[in-house]
């Protein structure tokens, strides 16, 4: 599992890959939105991400379904059907020639030709892209575990203000906390909700393991697809899952901790605020879920294989 490859184009650095916008496929260096787009000016945009591993999309239909729900909640419109969305995402990956990819679809509010402040005047814009796969945790961290910092001074945006079930780019709370974590010597962070319960981190959900059972926040967090996959794995193995409030005390006294994300899968945490979690190594339950998660990437029931045959597509 590697971080994304990059290249320099016109003096700027871009990941290699392929984008789709305005009805055409483009190199990543040519994919741009207007500075007047509401997505940039007001973070008025929703998105979803899926990954490709060894040439296969993982649980793509669930990501498309969640994207549809987000669009509906924000009153955004994408003209493409689910089959057309699926084709565009696959084609981005195929044209980029990526066997392991991070793939995103997004819709901005767009821009108004009169710079109106009425969101109804804006023309919604759909964009998709595929770039090399990048993980929240690098290879060493996946093997040895992450150093996580629980931040108490920055709280997650409450769901009454921004619904976390609608994937969004409102990350200033998470980014502010992340810098505090870096200052403390940690590798990533998790923050609390307004009630002081554990919430989530920059792009990931969190699980605590105690006495063989899983505990994960339910309210005020995104219900990630990888999080859902952990639930499915737990059901297969008969592991109890408790989804609800998770206190700081529960996290600090966990036998094991792991985080979950499309960008990284199942990632062990072995230090919390400088203190070892369990015996300081990835726990047995975490490793079982980790192995099963990646084994499922070879199962046709959970995957969609990309056809990279250029000759066939040229016909």
Residue 3 has pLDDT above 50, yes or no: no
| pLDDT computed for residue 12 by the predictor | 72
Identify the CA nearest to 219 among candidates 183, 253, 243: 243
Please identify, in words, the CATH class of the domain defined by 139-298. Answer: alpha beta
In the predicted structure, residue 162 carries a pLDDT above the cut 70: yes
Mean pLDDT of 173-195: 97
**SS3 letters for the chain?**
CCCCCEEEECCEEEECCEEEECCEEEEHHHCCCCCCCHHHHCCCEEEEEEEEECCEEECHHHHHHHHHHHHHHHCCCCCCCHHHHHHHHHHHHHHHCCCCEEEEEEEEEEECCCCCCCHHHCEEEEEEEEEECCCCCCHHHHHHCEEEEEEEEEECCCCCCCCCCCCCCCCHHHHHHHHHHHHCCCCEEEEECCCCCECCECCEEEEEEECCEEEEECCCCCCCHHHHHHHHHHHHHCCCEEEECCCHHHHHCCCEEEEEECCCEEEEEEEECCEECCCCCCCHHHHHHHHHHHHHHHCCCCEEECCCCHHHHHC
CA distance 154 to 47: 24
Domain locations along the chain: 18-132, 139-298
How do residues 258-297 score in pLDDT, each as one tens digit?
999 999 999 999 999 999 999 999 999 999 999 999 999 9
Q: How confident is the model at residue 14 (pLDDT cuts 50, 70, 90)?
A: confident
Other beta carbons within 10 angstroms of residue 312's beta carbon come to 8
Beta bridge partners of 47: 106
311 has a pLDDT exceeding 60: no
Q: How confident is the model at residue 4 (pLDDT cuts 50, 70, 90)?
A: very low
Q: What band does 309 get if pLDDT is binned at 50, 70 and 90?
A: confident
Q: Is domain 18-132 annotated with CATH 3.30.470.10? A: yes
Given this model, what pLDDT does residue 2 score? 41
Q: What is the pLDDT of residue 9?
A: 55
pTM across the whole model: 0.92
The alpha carbon of residue 26 and the mean position of all alpha carbons in its chain are separated, in whole angstroms, by: 23
Please compute the mean of the pLDDT values over residues 53-82 and round it to a whole number: 98
pLDDT, residue 152, reads 94
**Contacts by 286-293, CB closer than 8 A, 24 or more apart:** 286/209, 286/256, 286/258, 288/237, 289/230, 289/233, 289/234, 289/258, 290/258, 290/265, 290/266, 292/233, 292/236, 292/237, 293/226, 293/229, 293/230, 293/233, 293/265, 293/266
Average pLDDT, the chain: 94
The two tokens of residue 258 are 């792991």
Identify the burial level of 69 via C-beta atoms within 10 angstroms of its C-beta, where 0-12 means exposed, 13-18 middle and 19 or more buried. Answer: middle
Mean pLDDT score, 18-28: 96
Q: Tell me the per-residue pLDDT of 205-263, one tens digit each, with 9 for 90 and over.
A: 999 999 999 999 999 999 999 999 999 999 999 999 999 999 999 999 999 999 999 99
Overall average pLDDT of the 32-52 stretch: 96
Q: Look at residue 5 and tell me whether its pLDDT is greater than 60.
A: no
Closest CA to 52 of 88, 15, 89: 89
d(CA 255, CA 231) in angstroms, rounded, equals 19
Per-residue pLDDT band at 11 (split at 50, 70, 90)? low
Q: Is the pLDDT of residue 1 over 50?
A: no
d(CA 66, CA 64): 5
Per-residue pLDDT band at 13 (split at 50, 70, 90):
confident
Q: What is the pLDDT of residue 8?
A: 56
Going by C-beta distance under 8 Å and a sequence separation of 6 or more, which residues neighbour residue 273? Answer: 148, 149, 150, 184, 186, 252
């Amino acid at each position: 599992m590697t971080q994304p490859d990059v290249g320099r184009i016109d003096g700027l650095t871009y990941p290699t890959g392929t984008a789709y916008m305005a009805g055409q496929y483009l190199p990543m260096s040519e994919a741009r939105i207007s500075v007047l787009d509401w997505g940039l000016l007001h973070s008025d945009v929703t998105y979803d991400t899926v990954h490709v591993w060894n040439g296969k999309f993982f649980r793509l239909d669930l990501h498309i379904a969640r994207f549809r729900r987000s669009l509906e909640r924000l009153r955004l419109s994408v003209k493409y059907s689910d089959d057309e969305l699926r084709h565009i995402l696959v084609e981005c990956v195929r044209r980029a020639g990526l066997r392991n990819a991070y793939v995103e679809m997004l819709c901005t509010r767009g821009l108004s030709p009169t710079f109106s402040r009425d969101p109804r005047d804006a023309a919604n814009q759909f964009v998709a892209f595929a770039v090399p796969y990048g993980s929240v945790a690098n290879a060493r961290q996946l093997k040895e575990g992450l150093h996580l910092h629980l931040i108490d001074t920055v709280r997650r945006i409450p769901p009454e203000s921004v619904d976390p079930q609608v994937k969004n780019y409102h990350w200033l709370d998470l980014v502010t906390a992340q810098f505090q974590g870096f200052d403390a010597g940690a590798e990533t962070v998790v923050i609390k909700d307004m009630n002081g319960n554990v919430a989530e981190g920059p792009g990931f959900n969190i699980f605590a393991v105690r006495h063989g059972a899983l505990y994960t926040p339910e309210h005020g967090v995104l219900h990630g697809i990888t999080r859902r996959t952990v639930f499915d794995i737990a059901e297969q193995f008969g592991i109890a899952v408790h989804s609800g409030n998770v206190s700081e005390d529960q996290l600090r006294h966990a036998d094991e901790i792991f985080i979950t994300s499309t960008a990284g899968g199942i990632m062990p945490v072995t230090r919390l605020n400088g203190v070892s979690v369990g015996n300081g190594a990835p726990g047995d339950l975490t490793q079982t879920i980790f192995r099963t998660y990646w084994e499922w990437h070879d199962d046709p029931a959970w995957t969609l294989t990309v056809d990279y045959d250029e000759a066939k597509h040229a016909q």
